[in-house]
Every structure is written in structure tokens, then in C-alpha cells.
Amino acid sequence: MVASASGRSVIVGAGVAGRELATALRRKRKMAAVMGFLDDRFDGTRGVFAGLPLLGRIDDLGNVVRALQIDQVYIAIPSAHGQLVRRIVAACQGARVAFRIVPRILEIIEGRARLDDVRQIRPEDLLGRAPVKSDRGLARLLAHGRRILVTGGAGSIGTELCRQLGRCEPEELVALDWSENGIFNLEREIRRRYPRLSFRSLLGNAQESDQIKRIFKETKPEVVFHAAAYKHVPLMERFPEQALLNNIIGTWNVASAAREFGAQTFVLVSTDKAVLPRSIMGATKAVAELLVQSLGQSARFSTVRCGNVFSSSGSVIPIFQEQIRRGGPVTLTHPDMVRFFMTIPEAVHLIIQAARLTEGGEVFVLDMGEPVKILDIAENLIRLSGFRPHVDVEITFTGSRSGEKLSEQLARHDEDVVPSAFPHVFVTKTVRAPAMPPETLVRTARELAMRARPREIRRFLAELVPDFKFAKRSPARAQRALTVQFAVRR
């Protein structure tokens, strides 16, 4: 439903969405009086759309707000990319006027919203590029009538995989996770959404080889998405043995069981932090990629590298939002840090495409445009919350954490990255082999994890991943040095 408002409003965008929104607003009682449209197609001549005048271009917003005493701005361009949305938001904030946005085209197509729904602007609306649209037909071709297993099924990406695959009428959808609350909530949601779906939720651990084999023997999945992993860089620096157990041994348990029990397709969800890793987490994911590639030489096993995912559990967006709700400060580790960002639906879209495209051994990456400064994201979130960055809400820098890089890459220099059959998706078939047989690698990793000696673990990972560079100084010493550096710069 359209939110109630009083006073006068103007609509940015005189296309189909804008005209339908204007009609809907006028149908509602006690709604803001719509004074007209702003659109960059304005050529200086007065036009009329849906019975309302075209008042000017987007850059005229401030003057129009003051002249007509506008109280509310509706942004009605569902296909707008982040740069345009940021421009409109900046104009609204400069004019000190409230603003809301109509849903994106994808939300409308998927039935999650209508054109006349309006909502607060979300962080992903400010993505620095046009979002990649998902293909429901592609997911159906992959999933319809097939048995599918999603590990890490209760996580952000795993849950979205279950949502998108569940509507494609698979023969059976199985979700595995070791979070009791997570798997409980996932089961409730999937059964509510798809009451006729054959869905099974399993509480279990990818680190337990015998348990994984039992699951594969019982469910006989044809398609496997392995999204179970530890992803928090600072925690894995503190507990490297857990990174070995989950990211390496867990991946091998699931992948080798997939091969043993005849799964047709296996996709590992990896991270850009596996490229030139500087962290334990990144290095263990790089090793996981090597293991999957070793199996992919004789089966349809592949890897997808995702960038930072908007609003996933533990990502910077919800952390910043919580800090803003508390009144600040918003904490960043470094003012120059940049990251590639993607939305959860984009990540799942890429993963499903990879499952369709794979022939064996590939690494898939998404063309995510230019990386985004974390500082810019923090400032935009503060503005969207109605505050002024550095004035109403302070931003502080704490110093780079151990294992953290200022920027990430999606591919190494020695990887031959080429376009795939799908737009915005790139693939590399550069084959790399582990420095030791996979079985020996996994056995050694398990022994090192049991001894829990960080230095030995780092040396082991450096042997397997030659471009793994780890800090010689302790995290505490490195942070003290950076804190002094920031003080000098400010």
C-alpha cells in the first residue's frame, strides 16, 4: 500500500511508473496532492502526463520544491541505476524534502511489489551500477524436477537459493545447516511459501564426513550448491584451525561425496578474498577452489566468486545501520578501503548461471563495475537515515585489521578471464592443481587443525597458495601503527 502523507508532492520520472503512481496517489484519500513531474526528457516545452504538468528537469528539483512548497518527492524510475538514484537523493537532501522510491523492476516482475507501492530507499538502490536482473526461466531449467542440496542453507545466500529454487518445482529441495535457529526459521519460511514443495531441512555439519555421506546416500542430490563456510576475516585470524575445518575440510567432504554419489553438478560459493589472499579466510577459500578444480577435471564441478553481498548477515551495511540507530559513531577500518558489492539476488543469479554453464573446473565471476568506497557507503547510509555525516553522526577510523586488504580483485593476473554465454558473467578455465594430492592435503589440514598452532597453519597455507601473504606483525601492533598513521593524516 502507498504510505499516507499530507501536503504537496512531486514525482521524479514521467514514464509508465510515474504516471501509474500519480493515478494511484490521486485515488487514495488523504494523500499528498501531486503537483506534477520532473524528468530529464523535459525540453523546455510544457507537457502533460496523466493530467499533470511536466515541471522541469531533475536538476530543477530544488527550485520546484521551494516554489511549490513541496513536502514529499516520489522517485518513480524502477530501472534507475545507483548513480542516478544518488543524484536524485542528493537533490532531495539539498532541498530538505522527504523522499521515497517505487520498487525496482525485478521486485515487480517477481510479484513482491506493485508499481504503486512506495518505500524507503534501501542501500542497494545506491549500487554504483545497474543491477543484474535474474532470470526465472534459467532457474527453472536447472531445478525443475531435480533433487537439489544447498549447504549453508540458512545463511543469506543459501536462504535466497532456497527461495528461488523452491518456486521452480524441484523433485526435492534439501537444505543443510548447523544453525539450529537458522534452519528452524528457513523451514518455516519455505513451507509457508511453497506448501506443495517436497522440502527437507537438515541440521548437520559439513565437517563431519560420515554424516555428509549419509545425507548424500539418503537424498541422492543431482545438483549441489555448497554455500557453507566461515567468512569473517578477523575471527578466522583468531581461530585459523576452524577455517581449516570448515572452509577446506568441509568443502572436500561435500565435494567428494557429491562425486561419490553421482551428483551431476556441484557449485562452490567462493569469495573475491580468495584472490591474492592476505587473510586466513581468503587463503582457505583459495584452497577450497583448488580442491573443487581438481574434481572438476572429470565432472561438472565449478566455483563462483562473489564480492561483498549487500545486507548479508555480518556485512558492513547492517553493522553501519545499527551504529547509526545508536547515534554513532560509524566505525571504518580505513578511509581508502574499497570493495566490489553485489546484492543477494545478484549473487544467487550468478550461482544459478554457473550451475547451468559449467562443464567442469571453471571459476565464474560477475562484472560488478567499479569498486565502491566503504566511506561513501557509510556517508550515504547516514544521509538516508536523515542525518549529516561527520556532523550529526561521527565517522571514526579504527585501523586495518589483520588479514584485511584495502581493495580486492575478482581474478588473478595469471587467470584468463573471458565473457561467458550470459551478459555480465565472466569465466576462467585456468587450471591450477594443488601442491599435493587432495587426500594428503585434507589429511594434513585435519592434523594441523587438531594441533591448533597458528604459525604452522599459516606456513601450510602459504605452501598451498604461493601468493598468500600474511602479516609478520601481530594484529595489535599493526592496529596501533595504523592508528598513529590516521592521527597524523587527520
Domains of the chain: 8-121 (3.40.50.720), 136-322+337-382+397-480 (3.40.50.720)
pLDDT of 225 higher than 70? yes
Q: What φ, ψ does residue 31 adopt, rounded to 5°? A: -95, 165
Question: Known catalytic residue: 273?
Answer: yes
pLDDT category of residue 218 using cuts at 50, 70 and 90: very high
Residue 38, CA distances (Å) to 94, 158, 186, 369 in order:
16, 41, 43, 28
Rounded to two decimals, the pTM is 0.76
With beta carbons less than 8 A apart as the criterion, state whether 200 and 153 touch. no
Which three three-digit cell numbers place residue 340? 566490489
| pLDDT mean across residues, the chain | 84
List b or e across 464-490, with b for residues whose CB sees 16 or more CB atoms inside 10 angstroms.
Answer: bbeebebbeeebeebbeebeeeeeeee
Range from 45-59, 174-188, 458-472 carrying the lowest mean pLDDT: 45-59
Residue 241, CA distances (Å) to 41, 237, 311 in order:
59, 9, 27
Give the pLDDT confidence score for residue 44 in this predicted structure: 63
Which three three-digit cell numbers place residue 133? 536482473
Q: Determine the residue type at 205.
A: N
Give the pLDDT confidence score for residue 230 in this predicted structure: 94
Q: In the predicted model, what is the mean pLDDT of residues 232-245?
A: 94
Residue 217, CA distances (Å) to 203, 214, 383 in order:
16, 5, 53
Placement of cell 512548497 in the chain: 69
Cis status, amide bond into 329, omega within 30 of 0: yes
Please list, in sequence order, all residues whose beta carbon lies within 8 angstroms of the beta carbon of residue 232, skipping any fewer than 6 positions away.
281, 314
pLDDT 10s digits, 308-339 = 777 666 678 788 888 998 888 999 989 998 88
Could you tell me which residues are beta bridge partners of residue 419? 426
73: exposed, middle or buried (C-beta count within 10 Å: 0-12, 13-18, 19+)? buried
Which of 217, 220, 231, 273 is catalytic? The answer is 273
| Three-state SS at 352 | helix
pLDDT of 457 higher than 90? yes
How remote is the C-alpha of 150 from its chain's centroid? 17
Nearest residue to 460 via CA among 280, 253, 268, 332? 280
Dihedral class, residue 13 (left if φ above 0, else alpha if ψ from -120 to 50, else beta)? left
User: What is the enclosing helix (H) or strand (E) of 446?
Assistant: helix 438-451
Nearest residue to 457 via CA among 245, 232, 270? 245
With beta carbons less than 8 A apart as the criterion, state whether 250 and 177 touch. no
pLDDT 10s digits, 380-434 = 888 777 788 898 899 999 887 777 788 777 788 778 888 888 877 889 888 788 8
Please list, in sequence order, all residues whose beta carbon lies within 8 angstroms of the beta carbon of residue 487, skipping any fewer than 6 positions away.
none
Give the pLDDT confidence score for residue 129 in this predicted structure: 61
Q: In the predicted model, what is the mean pLDDT of residues 11-16?
A: 88
Placement of cell 525496482 in the chain: 104
Q: Select, from the ranges 37-41, 289-293, 377-381, 485-489, the one with the highest average predicted confidence (pLDDT).
A: 289-293
Please list, in sequence order, all residues whose beta carbon lies within 8 angstroms of the beta carbon of residue 95, skipping any fewer than 6 positions away.
61, 62, 65, 66, 70
Which three three-digit cell numbers place residue 383? 544521509
